[in-house]
Amino acid sequence: MQRRTFIQSLAAVGALGFLPSGVSRALAQEAQALSVEQLPALEGNLTLYLGRGEGGLYENVLDAIRKRNPKLNLQIRRGATAALTNTIVAEAKAGVRRADLFWAVDSGAIGLITDEGLARELPTDLTAQLKTGFQYPRWTPVTGRIRTLPFNTEKLSKEQIPDSIMALADSKLSIGWAPAYAAFQSFVTAMRLLEGEKATADWLRGVSRHAKTYAGELGVVMGVERGEVDLGLANHYYTLRLKSGKPDARLDLAFTRNDAGCLVNASGVLALSEGDLPINFIRYLLTKEVQSYLSSEAYEIPMVSGLSPPEGLPLLSSLSPPKVDLRQLADLRPTLSLMRKVGVL
């Protein structure tokens, strides 16, 4: 869906009616994605801190919400997610609140803010819309991404790929990875939590012996497709995006089971100020229009129940991601220290 088409369609969907302080009980019982038609109009002043990401697609969503709600004065401060997180915490310690909302491109940053007690508790009718396992009291995932093993289909079949991420350390497969990339570091953090420091260090050493390093995970996937390596470690959407532009790409996805290799991480949003307006803004991000747009254009996973994953990705219910509280991914310092000690950074 092109940017202009999405903005016009979101702005034009039906007439907005006001609902009494949140969504009605009947809508809450549906626990499915709502349409913008079912939401109250947004009126007033809001400041959103927005972590950079997704090539402007999040900006398209915000433009569409503005166009649909002409009485909303939405101010946006953009920056790196980690920097904005530190700013919010520093402002709070100084007794200042400049942001009403924070939309982060990864959930680790969310943990730093919720741990400081700065995020508002969300209404249960809002969180009930989220998929099982992704319902949190003080923040909500917006879209998800799953760790995958993209592989070259001329070199490997799925049957030749271990379904355990830990087994890759002792395999003879050539592997592409991007250790300096934030998504990879969150994945290693999850491995530390699930497997322990020693097992993670051994895994990093083992894989490094037959790994090729890339600057980012799009580079990993492109290297896999060119046959530079047998398989890679990357978020799912890089493969889906490459295949959308090159349908005959020598590329497919494999998944591990119940370990950090198939971790589901998420972008997330939280409210920092009181009142209905920040909460109702969050409702817009969870509508079927916005969720479907980010699925079709960014190839991210809708986090609201009842919506399908992007084309080319199995249903989450058919996969086996590990049970990890995504807020625990916030502290990267032990991970970075471990990676430096092992010599992969």
Q: What is the 3-state secondary structure (H, E, C) of the chain?
A: CCHHHHHHHHHHCCCCCCCCCCCCHHHHHHCCCCCHHHCCCCCEEEEEEEECCHHHHHHHHHHHHHHHCCCEEEEEEEECHHHHHHHHHHHHHCCCCCCCEEEECCHHHHHHHHHCCCCCCCCHHHHCCECCCCCCCCCEEEEEEEEEEEECCCCCCHHHCCCCHHHHHHCCCCEEECCCCHHHHHHHHHHHHHHCHHHHHHHHHHHHCCEEECCCHHHHHHHHHHCCCCEECEEHHHHHHHHHHCCCCCCEEECCCCCHHHCEEEEEEEECCCCHHHHHHHHHHCCHHHHHHHHHHHCCEECECCCCCCCCCCCHHHCCCCCCCHHHHCCCHHHHHHHHHHCCC
- Domain harbouring 212, CATH code: 3.40.190.10
Regarding whether 238 and 249 lie in a shared domain, the answer is yes
Q: What is the β-pairing status of strands 101-104 and 264-271? A: antiparallel
pLDDT in tens, 238-251: 999 999 999 999 99
Regarding whether 132 and 239 lie in a shared domain, the answer is no
- CA–CA distances in Å: residue 210 to residues 230, 251, 325: 10, 20, 31
- The pLDDT of residue 132 is 87
Q: Give the number of domains in the chain.
A: 2
- Cα separation, 105 vs 199, in Å, equals 28
Q: In the predicted model, is pLDDT for residue 203 greater than 50?
A: yes
- Cα separation, 267 vs 51, in Å, equals 9
Determine the average pLDDT of the residues in 187-206: 97
Regarding whether 135 and 52 lie in a shared domain, the answer is yes
Regarding whether 108 and 9 lie in a shared domain, the answer is yes
Asked if residue 241 is part of any domain, the answer here is yes
Q: What is the mean pLDDT of the chain?
A: 89
- Cα separation, 224 vs 165, in Å, equals 17
- The pLDDT of residue 9 is 62
| Residue 238 annotated as part of some ligand binding site | yes
Amino acid letter, residue 95: G
- The pLDDT of residue 21 is 33
Q: In the predicted model, is pLDDT for residue 160 greater than 60?
A: yes
Regarding whether 271 and 288 lie in a shared domain, the answer is yes
Domain span at 257:
145-263+320-342
Asked if residue 315 is part of any domain, the answer here is no
Q: In the predicted model, is pLDDT for residue 18 greater than 80?
A: no
Residue with tokens 């079949």: 157
Regarding whether 272 and 215 lie in a shared domain, the answer is no
Q: What is the pTM of this model?
A: 0.86
- The pLDDT of residue 327 is 83
Percent of the chain with pLDDT over 90: 77
Model confidence band, residue 170 (pLDDT cutoffs 50, 70, 90): very high
| Residue 58 annotated as part of some ligand binding site | no
